């Protein structure tokens, strides 16, 4: 039978990713349910996956382990449920169980009904989600917060139902976000409400009309951009029946009429009226907006020269805040120029394009994301626009690429010597193997015997490869290798080279202070939690009120929750002298922004040490999310437990 419970699917993803046995307690903490629920879910999961050549093994004392019996059959399961992808499975009417999934589900349900001019009944919603009316009312409080992001208001009345009020543009954006683009929560092609709006044939007709016009006018779109345009045409058709249109000023209409996409938009709407009998000709300005948003290369009153000054100011602010200078990266400047011309246009029209890889960007390129936050602050100040997390994520891609280029340039300058005790021929073989494998990042400057090695030579290179142990040598430079290197030896060398690049971030006690560890923090909100931890840091002299204010400013730009019940609040601007990390373990989890959080790492990283940011973030992520350390810390909230989890990363 298909897997229809998202909680069970989450368990499968965890077991698939980690291969080793995971205890029922860890699974329960990770999923947020009781161990008895995990036992029932494991039983159901086992029944579902056996036909795919796999089963769950229960190991006494260790926990549950996924065993693959037939790889070919299991590959079908992996592909069907997207087990190795950051994209969530969307089929078979997956039932939401997570708090945030349920909030999104309820919002989508309300919006779908609004397209029919229907009212959502509270009793029906509670029954559909298998929750009580009192629990539903608790959700409604957080739903109001979620809708506030769109400047929309939730009107709730037990007798008259629930509906959403606000500006038409914001309602349409909300519909695209929660119904069409959040199809990890609701598969709209199988949803009875969407089917009642338009048939699949009508949707295919709109798709054909859109395709015909863009090919006729040689408009190039990505698959995502095409889908976004299709979605907004469908939204236009839905909303037009309710006489809900977006109004534009005379100046805005003139600007949109000057766009080369305006005639294409009018043509699409005209064909829709002819073929489908739906008159939405008054929506040509709205559709033109979305054509503009879909393009990277667009006409704009903002010239490249104007953009250059903005980018210069962005890079100056990044250098000021992080002590990292990217002003010589011409490829970055060129990429930002092209991106910002389009992005600023989108922001001025309050258009938001969903970034499907946002979470991946935040978790894999944390330093680049912080640079994008700083850039967004400059853009908001100078362009008088309001940025959003999706656009911040797109900006971060450019900074991530720049950091990768700079890292490669630094690595290209690495030098090494080979110390070999078995003779010149063996040493030359070693040299050729190392150069063939690492020639792009490593230069072998000399081959020598152990007795020739001097302190001056040691200090002149980055690495020393030796076939014999060298006493009293800085182990950060020394790599012991076999005379005849195998593939395993080369992989080991690669690991050590990469490890050397991590700024030797191992002495965690330098950053984590026992007097800043709070094992039973009580807080009602993210603001309250940050305030308590920041005040303690001020009291001990680790930060001041200016840094505290910057922490809240950073949080307002984009939430610092990262999943796994973890949040990492920090300052945008920090003039302190040392790295300090305060840790709070909450007695009870709170909804931070969208997710539950119970462990908080409040970071204070001065600008002159900002290069440590990436390693600190990734160390916390690996120890407390990938290795489930947050749940171990919650069950045993001690400073020594914290240190043990950090020291056991590798």
pLDDT digits (tens, 9 = 90+) for 462-493: 888 888 887 766 567 888 887 777 777 788 78
pLDDT digits (tens, 9 = 90+) for 288-321: 988 887 764 444 444 566 788 999 999 999 999 9
Selection from 38-52, 129-143, 297-311, 351-365 with the highest mean pLDDT:
38-52
Angle (CA) 145 148 151, round 5°: 170
What are the phi and psi torsion angles at 516 (to 5°)?
-115, 20
Report the CATH number of the 413-500 domain.
3.40.50.2300
pTM (2 decimals)? 0.68
Residues 6+ apart with CB under 8 A from 479: 463, 464, 465, 466, 493, 496, 497
- What does the pLDDT read at residue 264? 95
Quote the CA–CA distance of 234 and 176 in Å, as a whole number. 10
Say whether 304-410 and 200-293 share the same fold. yes
- What does the pLDDT read at residue 193? 46
- What does the pLDDT read at residue 6? 76
pLDDT digits (tens, 9 = 90+) for 627-644: 778 888 998 999 999 999
Query: Is 200-293 in CATH node 1.10.1790?
Result: yes
Best CATH choice for the domain 6-80 from the list 3.40.50.80, 1.10.10.10, 1.10.760.10, 3.30.300.30: 1.10.10.10
Count of residues making up the chain: 650
Report the CATH number of the 508-647 domain.
3.40.930.10
pLDDT band at 183 (very low <50, low <70, confident <90, very high): very low
CATH class (in words) of the domain with range 99-197: mainly alpha
List the end-to-end C-alpha distance of the chain, in Å, as a whole number. 39
Quote the CA–CA distance of 213 and 267 in Å, as a whole number. 8
Architecture field, domain 304-410: Orthogonal Bundle (1.10)
Domain boundaries, the chain: 6-80, 99-197, 200-293, 304-410, 413-500, 508-647
| Nearest to 375, CA basis, from 298, 305, 310, 331 | 310
The Cα diameter of the chain in Å comes to 90
């Amino acid at each position: 039978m298909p897997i229809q419970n998202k909680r069970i699917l989450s368990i499968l993803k965890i077991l698939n990713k980690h291969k080793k046995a995971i205890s029922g307690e860890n699974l329960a903490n990770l999923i947020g349910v009781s161990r008895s629920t995990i036992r029932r879910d494991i039983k159901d999961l086992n029944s579902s996956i056996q036909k795919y050549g796999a089963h769950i093994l229960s190991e006494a004392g260790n926990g549950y382990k996924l065993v693959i019996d037939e790889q070919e059959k299991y590959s079908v399961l992996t592909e069907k449920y997207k087990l190795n992808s950051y994209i969530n499975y969307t089929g078979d009417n997956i039932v939401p169980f997570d708090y945030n999934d349920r909030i999104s589900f309820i919002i989508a349900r309300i919006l779908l009904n609004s397209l029919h001019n229907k009212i959502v009944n509270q009793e029906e919603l509670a029954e559909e989600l298998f929750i009580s009316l009192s629990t539903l009312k608790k959700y409604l409080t957080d739903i109001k917060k979620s809708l506030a992001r769109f400047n929309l208001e939730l009107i709730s009345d037990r007798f008259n139902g629930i509906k959403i009020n606000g500006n038409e543009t914001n309602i349409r954006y909300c519909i695209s976000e929660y119904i069409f683009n959040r199809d990890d929560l609701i598969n709209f092609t199988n949803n009875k409400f969407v089917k009642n709006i338009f048939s699949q044939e009508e949707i295919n007709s709109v798709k054909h009309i859109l395709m015909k016009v863009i090919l006729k006018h040689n408009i190039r779109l990505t698959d995502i951009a095409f889908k976004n345009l299709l979605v907004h045409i469908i939204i236009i058709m839905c909303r037009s029946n309710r006489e809900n249109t977006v109004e534009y000023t005379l100046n805005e209409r003139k600007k949109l009429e000057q766009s080369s996409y305006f005639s294409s938009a009018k043509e699409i709407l005209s064909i829709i009226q002819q073929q489908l009998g739906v008159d939405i000709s008054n929506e040509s300005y709205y559709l033109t907006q979305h054509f503009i948003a879909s393009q990277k290369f667009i006409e704009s009153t903002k010239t490249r020269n104007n953009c250059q000054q903005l980018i210069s100011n962005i890079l100056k602010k990044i250098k000021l805040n992080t002590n990292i200078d990217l002003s010589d990266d011409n490829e970055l400047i060129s990429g930002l120029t092209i991106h910002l011309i389009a992005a600023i246009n989108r922001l001025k029209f309050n258009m938001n394009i969903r970034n499907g890889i946002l979470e991946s960007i935040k978790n894999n390129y944390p330093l680049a994301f912080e640079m994008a936050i700083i850039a967004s602050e400059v853009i908001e100040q100078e362009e008088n626009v309001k940025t959003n997390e999706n656009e911040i994520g797109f900006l971060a891609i450019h900074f991530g690429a720049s950091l990768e280029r700079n890292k490669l340039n630094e690595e290209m300058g690495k030098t090494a010597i080979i110390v070999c005790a078995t003779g010149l021929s063996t040493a030359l073989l070693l040299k050729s193997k190392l150069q063939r494998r690492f020639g792009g990042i490593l230069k072998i400057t000399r081959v020598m015997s152990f007795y020739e090695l001097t302190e001056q030579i040691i200090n002149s290179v980055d690495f020393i490869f030796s076939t014999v142990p060298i006493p009293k040598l800085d182990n950060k430079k020394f790599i012991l290798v076999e005379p005849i290197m195998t593939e395993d030896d080369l992989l080991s060398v690669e690991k050590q080279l990469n490890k050397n690049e991590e700024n030797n971030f191992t002495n965690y006690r330098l950053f984590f202070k026992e007097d800043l560890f709070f094992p039973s923090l009580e807080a009602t909100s993210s603001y309250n939690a940050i305030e308590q931890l920041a005040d303690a840091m001020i009291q001990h002299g680790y930060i001041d009120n200016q840094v505290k204010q910057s922490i809240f400013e950073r949080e307002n730009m984009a939430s610092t929750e990262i999943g796994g019940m973890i949040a990492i609040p920090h300052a945008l601007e920090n003039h302190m002298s040392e790295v300090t990390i305060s840790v709070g373990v909450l007695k009870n989890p709170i909804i931070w922004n969208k997710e539950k959080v119970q462990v908080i790492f409040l970071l204070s990283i001065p600008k002159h040490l900002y290069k440590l940011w990436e390693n600190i973030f990734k160390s916390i992520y690996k120890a407390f999310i990938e290795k489930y350390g947050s749940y171990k810390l919650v069950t045993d909230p001690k400073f020594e437990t914290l240190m043990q989890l950090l020291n056991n990363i590798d």
